[in-house]
């Protein structure tokens, strides 16, 4: 059975059907998904446009009820959908289930946000006049999502969009349609009027581009690569549409001389290698000061030998496979590059397992410098480098010497050092004695420099993108 697109309240065949393959076992097809073309993307935009005025007026209770329904069902089906996620994306079952729980929590949070839209009432400088600051939905939003968080990222864009009264066209990543489809199926039963939520599975350059170009799409929220984000931004700017872009990271984890070695190693393992390193918040640069450098590299290499790479659905697995062949090839290219400019401490080789899949041993390079390509470009795989620093000042300088600025971490037992790094690291998120990856759902998520553009996602800050401010003056 081919799973279809959801347009204007109907399940609609695509122009072709594409298999969704399990990266842990290439012989296992998760399902067949209909691919939409430009015409269907335009139909979805038209349906969302038609549905907008009534949805904007439908009232906050309806929005709360729909989002709360989706949140409850995601939470109730965490095991089943977590398994689907791991089978489709390749992160471990534990991570897959946790991500579904996160998606459920996000829907619950934004159900509440629908009730808390509020506004402000202020005195005017003119006696007898009232001033109010009100928030209104912006219209049709196009949501373009990546494969690495195939249910959490769709959730953290769809839920606030609907909570604030917008209508939605969601285009998930080509590699992971199953999770987005499962979420769409729940949304199709959530009591939303036809056209309020639409799903179009398809190519970025076709369906994604149609959303970006359409004059009827008021804003696009995108998560993906920096190169695609850049292209999208230009097109959105040309037609003055709203843009919210979350792009790459080259996140430093700074380990200072006085760090607790065990904590630092745990942060590095978690941040660099969990989810197979396929996170925009992954710790890809480990900046380590001289006094702890050798002990840290030895302890990390030893901890890496305990990581079991295998089938994502095997409960014993610590690291699942890489998402697909193209990504594996990219990772291996960086491993080759690393071997030529640094010292390979561990891993980096493709692995064979009982089933054919994209398995890669997590790789660690030492003796690298920050100007090397492996330290400047986002790899998006289980590959980390160590950069030696002579002291705190140099470590901070190296950490900040990057065009990206999503997340950054520091491991230290000194409160004074922690405060300094918290203040001076140039990134949207700073972690002290914690991995650079792993964030809460109720607080803002986003970066600085080339990592992000536009208002923050998540938490109460999400309203900045999904609402338009109106200032109303009244002389009663």
Binding-site ranges for ligand ADP (CB under 6 A): 144-146, 171, 173-174, 204-205, 208-209, 212, 224-225, 228, 231-232
The H-or-E segment that residue 22 falls in is: strand 16-22
Q: Within 10 Å of residue 325's Cβ, how many Cβ atoms?
A: 11
- Quote the distance between the C-alpha of residue 444 and its chain's center: 13
Measured CA to CA in angstroms, residue 237 lies from 143, 215, 291, 403 at distances of 16, 12, 48, 21
N-term to C-term CA, the chain = 61
The smaller minimum CB distance to ligand ADP, of residues 279 and 285, is found at 279
Residue owning tokens 């809460």? 440
Contact 98, 75 (CB under 8 A): no
Q: Which residue has the tokens 């398809």?
A: 202
State which residue, 113 or 209, has the beta carbon closest to ligand ADP. 209
> Which one, 175 or 304, has the nearer CB to ligand ADP?
175
Using the structure block, give the residue that is written with the tokens 């850049």: 230
174 among known catalytic residues? no
Q: How far is CA 4 from CA 100, 190, 412, in A?
A: 22, 18, 51
Count Cβ neighbours within 10 Å for each residue of 225-238 and write b for 16 or more, e otherwise: bbebbeebbeebee
Shortest distance, CB of residue 468 to ligand ADP, whole angstroms?
23
Query: By the 8 A CB rule, do 473 and 124 touch?
Result: yes
From the candidates 179, 280, 378, 411, give the one annotated as an active-site residue: 280
Beta strands at 363-368 and 407-411: parallel, antiparallel or unpaired: unpaired
Residues 6+ away with beta carbon under 8 Å from 313: 24, 83, 86, 87, 93
Pick 205 or 474: Cβ nearer ligand ADP: 205
Q: How near is the Cβ of 146 to ligand ADP at its closest, in Å?
A: 4
Which of 99, 246, 378, 457 is an active site residue? 246
DSSP secondary structure string for all residues of 227-269: HHHHHHHHHHHHTT-EEEEE----EEEEE-TTS-HHHHHHHHI
Q: What are the tokens at 269?
A: 């393992």
Residue pair 274/437 in contact by the 8 Å Cβ criterion: yes
121 or 234: whose CB is closer to ligand ADP?
Answer: 234
To the nearest whole angstrom, how small is the minimum distance from the Cβ of residue 24 to ligand ADP?
Answer: 19
Minimum distance, C-beta of residue 324 to ligand ADP, in the bound complex (Å):
9
**Which one, 278 or 467, has the nearer CB to ligand ADP?**
278
Query: What is the closest distance, in whole angstroms, from the C-beta atom of residue 258 to ligand ADP in the complex?
Result: 37
Quote the least distance from Cβ 224 to ligand ADP, whole Å.
3
**What is the rounded CA–CA span in Å between residue 240 and residue 218?**
9
Residue spans of beta strands (DSSP E) within 140-297:
140-144, 167-171, 197-199, 219-223, 242-246, 251-255, 283-289
Nearest residue (CB) to ligand ADP, 173 versus 312: 173
| CA 107 – CA 429 distance, rounded (Å) | 23
Distance CA 31, CA 168 (A): 24
> 3-class DSSP state for residue 18?
strand
The closest residue (CB) to ligand ADP is 204
Q: How far is the CB of 427 from ligand ADP (least distance, A)?
A: 20
Nearer to ligand ADP, 35 or 456 (CB): 35
CA 54 to chain CA centroid, Å, is: 31
Asked about 341 being catalytic, the answer comes back as no
Indicate which residues carry an active-site annotation. 246, 280
């Amino acid at each position: 059975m081919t799973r279809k697109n959801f347009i204007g309240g109907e399940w609609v065949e695509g122009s072709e059907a594409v298999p969704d393959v399990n990266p842990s076992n290439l012989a296992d097809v998760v399902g067949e998904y209909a691919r939409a073309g430009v015409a269907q993307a335009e139909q979805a935009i038209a349906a969302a446009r038609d549905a907008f005025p009534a949805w904007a007026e439908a009232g906050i209770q309806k929005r709360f009820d729909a989002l709360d329904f989706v949140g409850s069902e995601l939470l109730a089906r965490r095991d089943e959908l977590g398994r689907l996620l791991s089978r489709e994306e390749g992160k471990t079952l534990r991570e897959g289930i946790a991500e579904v729980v996160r998606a459920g929590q996000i829907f619950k949070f934004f159900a509440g946000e629908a009730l808390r839209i509020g506004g402000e009432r202020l005195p005017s400088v003119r006696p007898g006049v009232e001033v109010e600051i009100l928030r209104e939905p912006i219209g049709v939003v196009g949501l373009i999502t990546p494969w690495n968080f195939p249910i959490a990222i769709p959730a953290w864009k769809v839920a606030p969009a609907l909570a604030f009264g917008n209508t939605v066209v969601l285009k998930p990543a080509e590699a992971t349609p199953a999770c987005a489809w499962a979420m769409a199926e729940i949304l199709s039963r959530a009591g939303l009027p036809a056209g309020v939520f639409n799903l179009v599975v398809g190519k970025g350059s076709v369906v994604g581009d149609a959303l970006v170009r359409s004059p009827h799409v008021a804003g696009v929220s995108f998560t993906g690569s920096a190169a695609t984000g850049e292209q999208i931004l230009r097109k959105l700017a040309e037609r003055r549409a709203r843009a919210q872009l979350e792009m790459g990271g080259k996140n430093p984890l700074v380990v200072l001389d006085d760090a607790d070695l065990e904590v630092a190693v745990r942060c590095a393992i978690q941040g660099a290698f969990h989810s197979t390193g396929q996170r925009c918040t992954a710790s890809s640069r480990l900046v380590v000061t001289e006094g702890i450098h050798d002990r840290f590299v030895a302890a990390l290499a030893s901890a890496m030998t305990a990581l079991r790479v295998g089938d994502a659905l095997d409960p014993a697995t610590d690291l699942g496979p890489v998402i697909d062949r193209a990504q594996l090839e990219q990772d291996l290219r960086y491993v080759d590059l690393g071997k030529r400019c640094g010292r390979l401490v561990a891993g980096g080789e493709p692995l064979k397992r009982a089933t054919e899949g994209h398995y890669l041993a997590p790789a660690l390079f030492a003796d690298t410098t920050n100007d090397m390509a492996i330290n400047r470009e986002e790899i998006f795989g289980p590959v980390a480098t160590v950069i030696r620093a002579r002291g705190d000042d140099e470590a901070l300088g190296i950490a900040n010497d990057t065009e990206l600025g999503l997340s950054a971490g520091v491991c230290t037992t000194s409160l004074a050092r922690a405060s300094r790094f918290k203040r001076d690291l140039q990134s949207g998120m700073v972690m002290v004695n914690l991995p650079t990856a792993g964030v809460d759902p109720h607080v803002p998520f986003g970066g600085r420099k080339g990592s992000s553009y536009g208002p923050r996602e998540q938490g109460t800050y999400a309203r900045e993108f999904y609402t338009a401010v109106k200032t109303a003056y009244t002389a009663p």
